[in-house]
Amino acid sequence: GSRFVATVESRAHPEYKRKLVAATADSTALTVCFDGGWTHAPHRVLRNKTLERWEAAGCPMPGCRPGEGEIAGQSASGEPILRYEDTAPREGMTGDIAEMALYAGEGAGKIDDLPGAGLLVTRLWDEARRFLEPECAGRT
């Protein structure tokens, strides 16, 4: 999933895409920090200031989190996006995009470009073929 967020066609916010491309192997965390309607449901995100402030405060429950209720940004239609919401940044959103929920899998550190989705699928297929059919490698 994270790999397809970092494609040209993805409607993810450009800053979110840049953060995915810049991620390293240790850039993600499994957390319940950004809960929205998913209280106590773990999810993996890129580490950011919101997560670090929450961890530094001892990972408090909803209602006791630092900066809770602050507006972190706005949707393209002007709806407020509160800190700790589970909304991933999309095109047209404004505000402190880097402090929102930037979902990312453990492989985020392997993302190093923003290809078109078609090219990405071709690359993934080629890699899978080489792995699954080693005797076909080099043949077309």
Which pLDDT belongs to residue 140? 55
Reading the block at residue 81, the tokens are: 């996006």
Residue with more model confidence, 35 or 4: 4
Distance CA 73, CA 119 (A): 32
Residue type, 24: T
pLDDT score of 139 more than 80: no
Which pLDDT belongs to residue 50? 97
pLDDT score of 63 more than 80: yes
Say if residues 16 and 111 touch (Cβ distance below 8 Å): no
Residue in the structure block whose two tokens are 């993805």: 10
Segment (H or E) for 55: helix 49-56
Which pLDDT belongs to residue 136? 57
Which pLDDT belongs to residue 133? 81
Which pLDDT belongs to residue 137? 53
Say if residues 108 and 17 touch (Cβ distance below 8 Å): no
